[in-house]
Chain A
Amino acid sequence: MAGGTQGSGDAVSHTYENARTWLLMPSWVVLTFLALIPVILMLVYSFLTKEFRGGVIWDFSLAAYDQFFFDRGLFGDDPPTFEWTYITIFWRSIWQAGAATLLSLLIGFPTAYFIATRPAHSRAIWVFLITIPYWVNLLIRTVSMKFLLRDQGPLNDTLMGLGIIDAPLTLVNTNFAVQLGLFYSYLPFMVLPIYAAVERYNFSLSEAAADLYASKFVTLRRVLLPAVKPGVVGGCILVFVPSLGSFLAPDLLGGAKNYMIGSLIEEQFKGNAGNWPFGAAASMILLSMVLIVLIIFARSQAHREKGAK
């Protein structure tokens, strides 16, 4: 069923096989020079000796990775024990980004679906409605969000006015505020890919399922979702991965009392620490983590498809 006529997920056709190299060439060239080479440069940097106050000395060193994984005490001369500090920071970021992605999906999917089922001429307007707020700078949007969530802010006033709560909720400087901020920062990145996929969905499949007495929920889960999966996966990647490295929303809404990956790495390049190799190493660990997750995901997909056939 999942594969269906819909040409689900990973169907690859051969129509333009001869032109493949030319089609991919522009992206390969641009990304090799402006993404891959810089990333390789940072990979090299992560194995170099740090120069005090930023920069590197071209001597091989594992100090950056040592700092990440081993704790040598305040003065750096205790016997090494396993360092949990940075793992904790990574875990915290993953958790926050995951929660934000889930929130985006829960709100973004119905929204995208709703837009895609509007009459054709008004869909574009809905899509614009989703992106217009993002013409306003992220800093300004986040500050406004903070204003809304304040103890004496409009949200608490409204809730108290309606008698829903008795005392103001403390929302600013909480994990929830961070998740809300991340959600707000990246929502269109969830909605638009899903919209692009659902818009193409062949509703006769849902009809067929309904004819077979499938409940609406079952239809959603077994027929619709598999068919629009590329959109959902794309949306989740575009929300989750940038959320991991984000620091503006966590800093402003979360109070910056605890590092997130983004602010930790930022501090190595733009802060007092000035430890470029460590910043580079932390980025490389983050990069490999994301890559591993994506590979595992791709593998399990391929496996499931094989099983389905």
Chain B
Amino acid sequence: MKNILKTATAASILAMTASMASADGKVVVYHWFEYMPQELIEKFEAETGIEVVMDTYDSNEAMLASLKAGGIGTYDVSVPGDYMVEIMTNEGLVDTIADGELANKGNIADDWLNVSYDHGRKHSIPYQWGSTSFMVDTAEYTGNIDTTDILFSPPAELSGKINMLDSQGEVLAMAALHLGIPQCSTDRDQLKALNALLQEAKTHWSSFNSDTSKDVLVSGDAVVGQIYDGFGAKARAERSTLKYAFPTQGYVVWMDNVVLLKDAPNRENALKFMDFLLEPENIAAVSNFARYGSGITGAEQFMDPELATLAEANPPATAGAGAFIQVCDEATQAVYDQIWTNVKK
């Protein structure tokens, strides 16, 4: 026992000194786990001599909570989703990137430069983007799947076989598309209709699972499941009868972005890191790993050819428009929070 303890103490001291030894020449990245290929991190370290120190989180909101509880000032960059960039900007958690500070800024594709949540890309650069819709097992259901009715007023044979993401933003945005109302509506009748719709729809849903959204579809436990497109492609690889739907009412589009955080301890290195990710070859490596789109001009030539033809990434002509999740003001959000509580109570 004593020996084990000694070894353990020695190891932990070693671990502590190891992280202190590299006090300069590092960049602290707050990121999802396994969302960036290790080879790419090593390439960056070899090219610049800057060490990448990673911390990970499991949801956008967890990252926000951690930053607000005092984490800000210890990280250089993080990778929030679209709506979270706007929230973090409103919260004053991000730094502004001055013109000319990013040499490769010109590589950002036009579509992703003037985005609603960061016009002109003053705080963030694109990382990966994709969509959130749902999949249906076409072996079990042969009707038309490109409609949000599948989720919100399903045919009897699908009732009780639907898994939703356990995420307020994704579920409520999809419901708004289904009703054709704004995502941050202040119209009381619309909000009441939304509340009523969800109360009714919930009776048809079997579960809310995000972590196993792919697995419930692959195993056949759910016939319909809300899912991210990249997950969807992986699910289809394992169960070929699964089909990703592009509803005529529209679907949710998301983009993860690298933001420069306020009070970044290694600001210069953070900008180098962002510049590195703006190079088409590097961001393509992320896409090949994570199976999502990149938002950088010229990345296509470095990407797996099959990514370009993925059914999940190529909406048919009939598809409705893709929409980002919108950020509501405090009073409006309070109503939406109440509606969500009503769903889950």
Contact = CB atoms under 8 A, between A and B. Distances in A.
Direct contact of A and B (CB under 8 A): yes
Interface of A: 52-55, 74-76, 85, 88-89, 139, 143, 146-147, 150-152, 172-173, 251-252, 255-259, 263, 269-275
B212 interface: yes
Interface in B74-104: 87, 90-91
A255 B345 contact: no
Interface string B172-212: 00000000000000001001100100000010011111011
A256 B221 contact: no
B62 A256 contact: no
Contacts of B87: 53
A74 B208 contact: no
Contact of B337 (A85, A256, A273): A273
Interface of B: 59, 61-62, 64-65, 68, 87, 90-91, 166-169, 188, 191-192, 195, 202, 205-209, 211-212, 215, 219-221, 330, 333-335, 337-342, 344-345
A252 B206 contact: no
A75 B335 contact: yes
Contacts of A147: 219
B212 to A, nearest CB: 7
B337 A252 contact: no
A172 B209 CA distance: 12
B183 to A, nearest CB: 13
Given A74-B191, A150-B219, A257 B337 contact: no
A256 B213 CA distance: 13
Q: Is the interface of B mostly helix, strand, loop or mixed?
A: helix
Contacts of B344: 256-259, 263
B257 to A, nearest CB: 18
B345 A85 contact: yes
A181 B87 CA distance: 36
B337 A173 contact: no
A269 B206 contact: no
Given A270-B62, A272-B169, A273-B337, A259 B207 contact: no
List the 10 closest A-B pairs by CB distance, nearest first: A255-B207, A272-B168, A256-B208, A52-B330, A85-B345, A270-B62, A55-B68, A259-B344, A54-B68, A273-B337
A76 B341 CA distance: 14
Contact of B91 (A53, A151, A271): A53
B192 A88 contact: no
Contacts of B211: 139, 252
Contact of A152 (B191, B195, B220, B340): B220
Given A55-B68, A74-B191, A271-B61, A255 B337 contact: no
